[in-house]
A and B are shown apart, each in its own frame.
Chain A
Amino acid sequence: MTRSDLDLTGDWAIRLDRVGKRYALGEREQYLALRDVIASAAGRLRPSQLRRRNGPTESGRPHRWALENVSFDVAPGEVVGLVGRNGAGKSTLLRLVSSITRPTAGSVAVRGRVGTLLEVGSGFHPELTGTENIFLNGAILGMRREEIRRNFDEIVEFSGVAEHLGTPVKRYSTGMYMRLAFAVAAHLDTEVLLVDEVLAVGDAEFQRKCIGRMRELADSQGRTVVFVSHNDAAIRQLCSRSVWLRDGSVAGDGPTDDVLPAYLEEQFSQSRLGGWIDVSDAARTGSGEARFTSVRLDVPGRSDARTVRPGEPLRVTVRVHADHDVACGNVSFHLATLGGMKLVSGGTGPDDPEFTLPAGETEFEIEVEALALNPGRYTGSFWLARPTGARRKFGLYDHVEAVIDVVVATPGGDDAEDALVATRSTLRLPSAVSTRLPSVPSNED
């Protein structure tokens, strides 16, 4: 790639030019050991053993394009929301803009200093005190010592942990830890700020404070912000423009009021119940000796259901392929928020008796009596493990995370807008409400 083909003219803060990023599969999921390299060299002689899924690269390793041919500009001072489902490439894009990782193709140009807030508290050390961590974390995020000193009081005030500054942060509550970490990052004084899903953690009060601070940062003159969130309300509030990524490509780019509804509508339509969904090509972890091939969700007794309603029964059917007979102790599915917070699970647990999964295809049916979730959008993951699998990573056969979308609609409703009504809570307790007259206290003296 020659230097001349990137056009640096124009008024932009971030310019992505035909950016592509390819990952070798498994690269981010497990450590490579020389053993694996030897095994994979041997595997080339026995192609059936390895390389069974996903297309091989020219070098023989399976790969996936996390981003492909992405081009767009962000103007100085613009606040852009980045939306798309898990695995669409949002985080990868932020990593490229911040130079944390290098593209496989194309180029990313940024004008000015870049601050990244990809996770609250990266660089915090549990053994160090609050004060020490403010300086350390500030330096890691790119602040000069002078800057940190100047902002110190403001950071402390924003965090609200002033009395505990001399205590190692490992003794902090999660809330305190988060507040302090966000406080440091929120005082980053860079021209470009990249924020990834930090608002998914913490309580409502903390989220409100974060959004408020984000608003302040976005409004302050000339600052460019790229904001990734599954929180539709936050995106609507903060971003005038949104870019929608689907499978590593730009699926929509324009005013948030146009892009966001289109994205939500598509998510909704893809979460249809009652059909087999092929998951054999999904990104996964685990040994793969036994693995999920396809999954299906139904509402028993309502075969035409497009969505499931709160409190309804749900039938989860999974098909598993085993290379040989394997001992199995745990087959389950999990539902999580779009932010990745695991909510509920169903299936067998570590205390259930183990069983043998025969070589070849097996179908499991997991019946949920009543789905304890409020209306909203969720993702489903599947887990298959050895009897000890719950505790030991190497006991895992297969884990496909956030591989399907599940929309829980309002009772009686069955369309997108209904499903997207924001509810205050996600879990729903099975409960009954009855009315009666208040019992009158007896006035016998």
Chain B
Amino acid sequence: MVETRQESVNTLDMSETPPPTVTVNRPPSGIELPDVGALWRDRELFYFLAWRDVRVRYKQTALGAAWAVLQPVITMLIFTFVFGRVAGLAPEGVPYSIFVYTALVPWTFFSTAITQAAQSLVLQERILTRVHFPRILIPMAAIAAVLVDLAVTLPVLGVLLVVHGIAPGWAIVTLPLFVLLVVLAASAVGLWLGAINVRYRDVRYVTPFLVQLWFFITPIVYSADVVPSRWRILLELNPLVAVVDGFRWAVLDADAPGRSLIVAVVVVAVGLTAALFHFRRLEATFADEV
């Protein structure tokens, strides 16, 4: 494995400069530990990569970062028009538009993040084959860049609440936890897709279908309550259910997520760990296969 360590030098002049680290590059063997620490160790590079993605994303678009807002807002308007009148989709007391938008905020982040992360490594082919740094920075930076969009769409939610005269309850303080949950969920999916895409470009074509399917198994245009209770546990295996429930709880004072949250935490923890190991294993051959 590629390992780095301080070398113990027992010569006489160990005077000022510390002994340089020795890096050993060996054939991949067995199971290697994921290099999550790189996100902190190489935080400057991580920051630069994310910053670049943010800078580049809306370059040469007439509306620029406004797209981050327009996307979910327009989607909200369409859904409100199409589904708003359908009985039973929205709970009592909350305007359907807000109900949908609250779910669209984490959903838009999630779908964009996994799409970007899936493409990230392939788009960086030149860097992958010519410079060495921890590869995990690339998909994670792509996801971090999408967080900036979230920082734009969330305040819009605040504006909508004010317009409709809705005041969130105390649960609003839990919102960051649900943001964290959706970031971790997106990381798990993004790392899987990104790593597989290096070898099988089919991922590019599969991702849109995956996103579409995922949209329908997430209670965005409907409330999870409409699902018969014996099917609920199956639905809750999708961690986005807890994320959306959590957002609606924190912002709209809907029912607190219970079992769905526990299931989601377990699913994300297992999924992310597996994704990190999977990424680590495939990472060894990125430069040879991209």
**Which residues of the other chain, A, contact B59 by a CB distance below 8 angstroms?**
127
Cβ–Cβ contact B24 & A139, under 8 A: no
- With both beta carbons as reference points, the residue of chain B lying nearest to A107 in the complex is identified as B26
Cβ–Cβ contact A100 & B131, under 8 A: yes
The CA of A103 and the CA of B45, in the complex, are separated in Å by 26
Beyond A103-B25, A108-B25, is A32–B289 a contact (Cβ under 8 Å)?
yes
Partner of B200, one of A32, A106, A140: A32
- With both beta carbons as reference points, the residue of chain B lying nearest to A110 in the complex is identified as B23
Cβ–Cβ contact B201 & A33, under 8 A: yes
The CA of A122 and the CA of B29, in the complex, are separated in Å by 29
The CA of A28 and the CA of B130, in the complex, are separated in Å by 14
**Which residues of the other chain, B, contact A27 by a CB distance below 8 angstroms?**
288-289
- With both beta carbons as reference points, the residue of chain B lying nearest to A36 in the complex is identified as B200
**Which residues of the other chain, B, contact A102 by a CB distance below 8 angstroms?**
2, 25-28, 284-285
**Which residues of the other chain, A, contact B52 by a CB distance below 8 angstroms?**
125, 128, 132, 136
- With both beta carbons as reference points, the residue of chain B lying nearest to A34 in the complex is identified as B202
Beyond A107-B24, A140-B133, A144-B44, is A34–B200 a contact (Cβ under 8 Å)?
yes
**Which residues of the other chain, A, contact B60 by a CB distance below 8 angstroms?**
127
Partner of A95, one of B23, B44, B287: B287
**B242-290 with Cβ < 8 A to chain A:** 284-285, 287-289
The CA of A211 and the CA of B222, in the complex, are separated in Å by 66
Main secondary structure of the interface of B (DSSP, over half): mixed
Beyond A114-B132, A140-B133, is A103–B26 a contact (Cβ under 8 Å)?
yes
| Interface size classification for chain B | 35 or more
Cβ–Cβ contact B23 & A114, under 8 A: yes
**B50-107 with Cβ < 8 A to chain A:** 51-52, 55-56, 59-60
Interface string of A116-132 (1 = CB under 8 A from B): 10110011010110001
**B204-246 with Cβ < 8 A to chain A:** none
Partner of B130, one of A23, A33, A99, A116: A116
Cβ–Cβ contact B200 & A96, under 8 A: no
Beyond A118-B130, A122-B131, A128-B55, is A145–B201 a contact (Cβ under 8 Å)?
no
Cβ–Cβ contact A6 & B28, under 8 A: no
The CA of A323 and the CA of B39, in the complex, are separated in Å by 52
Check if A285 is an interface residue, CB within 8 A of chain B.
no
- With both beta carbons as reference points, the residue of chain A lying nearest to B24 in the complex is identified as A109
**A18-64 with Cβ < 8 A to chain B:** 23, 27-28, 31-34, 37
The CA of A236 and the CA of B4, in the complex, are separated in Å by 34
Cβ–Cβ contact B45 & A140, under 8 A: yes
**Which residues of the other chain, A, contact B127 by a CB distance below 8 angstroms?**
122-123, 140
Cβ–Cβ contact B200 & A104, under 8 A: no
The CA of A146 and the CA of B202, in the complex, are separated in Å by 41
Cβ–Cβ contact B130 & A122, under 8 A: yes
Check if A141 is an interface residue, CB within 8 A of chain B.
yes
Beyond A104-B27, A114-B132, is A128–B20 a contact (Cβ under 8 Å)?
no
The CA of A135 and the CA of B128, in the complex, are separated in Å by 18
**B1-58 with Cβ < 8 A to chain A:** 2, 7, 20-29, 44-45, 48-49, 51-52, 55-56
**Which residues of the other chain, A, contact B45 by a CB distance below 8 angstroms?**
139-140
Check if A261 is an interface residue, CB within 8 A of chain B.
no
- With both beta carbons as reference points, the residue of chain B lying nearest to A117 in the complex is identified as B130
Cβ–Cβ contact A33 & B55, under 8 A: no
Beyond A34-B200, A139-B44, is A100–B22 a contact (Cβ under 8 Å)?
no
Closest chain-A Cβ to B275's Cβ sits at a distance in Å of 20
Residues of A at under 8 Å CB distance from B?
A: 1, 6, 8, 23, 27-28, 31-34, 37, 95-114, 116, 118-119, 122-123, 125, 127-128, 132, 135-136, 139-142, 144-145, 191
Residues of B at under 8 Å CB distance from A?
A: 2, 7, 20-29, 44-45, 48-49, 51-52, 55-56, 59-60, 126-133, 199-202, 284-285, 287-289
* Interchain Cβ contacts under 8 Å between A and B, 28 examples: A28-B288, A96-B25, A98-B132, A100-B129, A102-B2, A102-B26, A102-B27, A103-B25, A103-B26, A104-B27, A105-B27, A106-B26, A107-B24, A107-B26, A107-B27, A111-B20, A111-B22, A112-B21, A118-B129, A123-B127, A127-B55, A127-B56, A127-B60, A128-B56, A132-B52, A139-B45, A140-B127, A140-B131
